[in-house]
Amino acid sequence: MLPLFVAGYIISANRNFKTCRKFLGKGIMGFISNIAGTLSDSINSELKDQYLETFRTDSLGQDRLVKRSHRQNSAGLNQGSSDIISAGSKVLVPEGTYALMIDNGKIVDSVTAPGLYTWENSSSGSVLSGGVKSVVGDVFDRFRFAGEVTKSQRIYFVNGLEIMNQTCNEYLNVPYPDPVYGNLYFKFRIMFSFRIVDPVRFFKKTGKDTTLYEFMGSPERPKQPFLEVQDHMEEALNLCASRDKVPFPQLLSNKSRLKDAVNEAVSKVWYEQRGMVVESIALTDLTLDEASRKRVEQYDSAKIFADDPDALKALVALGLTKAMQSAASNPAGAVGGFAGLGMAGAVSGNIQNVNPAVEGQSITGPETCPFCGTILPLQKPLEYCPACNADIRSYFSG
């Protein structure tokens, strides 16, 4: 029985050995075949990427801020990977456009002037530009990663034009510390243009194809960059009023000072973080509130009469004329009417003596009315303030 058992075991072991050798042989041959296929694919894909590329774009216009460029392949001969740009490739940059070269996720070069450029420092070599050693290394890298491309190069174009007509439907209500009229309150909307001046900073904030709508929003739904300008308008107006001493009537005509103030106010979030500046700005639909409007009108009228006594006399004469007409038609009788007219004449006498300075006599007094703040004419002693009619004779000496 034992010899039969041993003989059966030997026969079974022999069969298992033949089966293992059969499967082992197939596995080795499959692995070798896989290696050969991968090596072949790696060589073929690398050879397809040997052509040098040309990149160009038309103007990005007013609607696109960042655009990824794709190689020109009108003949259909360049079948290489879209993520490989060989060293020696050409980049054509038009007016009003910047170009960024990105190698393996890092910005390695930028172009800010128009012209035709050659990308010499790409990490992907080409036998057509003398990079034979680099090509052999790239084939080996692709082979190690089962034929997959292990590098990535891209070119992005960034808009360098002035982007116009940025506005919002919302009104702003802010105080203006006017150097002449005091605090005024008005509402307005803003319309401005901006420009990207540092494409590297801007791209680091976006990092992809970007349209103007995606970045700034719409007049109905503005996005953060637009809202940042709105939020800093009060600070910019304070700079115009407190530092630059721009009175309200000249605010709309001092657009350069307003633009500089806005850029100064938003520089930390716009220029330092995004490489953008406000190119021009305008306040539209500007309206003073009722109290501010009356204050401006009263001040302007008082200033005219304080600076020009003849104008004040003319105003009084016009008032007396109207008073005489009113007295003549007074139902209570002309006597009562002209009694009131006599009091008006007394006030007129005060105004007629608005400048009694003796020749050669030095007159000193306040520059503004101590009671209402109206600016008073220099070297013209007054008995009464032309604005509030307060007695100010004691404030003059000479």
Lowest mean pLDDT among 76-85, 162-171, 210-219: 76-85
| pLDDT beyond 60 at 375 | yes
- The arithmetic mean of pLDDT across residues 352-357, rounded, is 47
Q: What percent of the chain has pLDDT over 70?
A: 57
d(CA 28, CA 286): 83
Q: Where are the beta strands (DSSP E) in the chain?
A: 54-55, 64-68, 89-93, 97-103, 106-111, 115-119, 153-159, 163-167, 172-178, 182-196, 210-211, 276-288
If pLDDT is split at 50, 70 and 90, which confidence band does 69 have?
confident
User: Can you read off the two tokens belonging to residue 306?
Assistant: 């304080």
User: In the predicted model, is pLDDT for residue 143 greater than 50?
Assistant: no
**Which residue is it, tokens 């220099």?**
378
pTM over 0.85: no
Q: For residue 395, give both structure tokens.
A: 């404030």
CATH of the domain spanning 163-288:
3.30.479
Computed over every residue of the chain, the mean pLDDT equals 74
Q: Give the type of residue at 217.
A: G
Q: What digits encode the pLDDT tens for the residues 82-141?
A: 677 777 888 999 999 999 999 888 999 999 999 999 887 655 444 334 444 454 455 545
End-to-end CA distance of the chain: 152
C-alpha–C-alpha distance, residues 398 and 382, integer Å: 12
Tens digits of per-residue pLDDT, 308-346?
A: 666 555 555 555 555 555 655 655 554 454 445 455 455
Question: What pLDDT is stored for residue 253 in this prediction?
Answer: 87
Report in angstroms the alpha-carbon separations of 318 from 213, 309, 338, 346, 390.
Answer: 60, 14, 16, 15, 21
Residue 292 pLDDT > 70, yes or no? Answer: yes
pLDDT digits (tens, 9 = 90+) for 212-242: 999 999 999 999 999 999 999 999 999 999 9
Confidence at residue 163, expressed as pLDDT on a 0 to 100 scale: 96
What residues does each domain of the chain span? 1-159, 163-288, 297-395
Residues 6+ apart with CB under 8 A from 369: 376, 385, 387, 388, 390, 392
Q: Count CA within 13 A, CB hemisphere, residue 37.
A: 7
Q: What is the pLDDT of residue 18?
A: 54
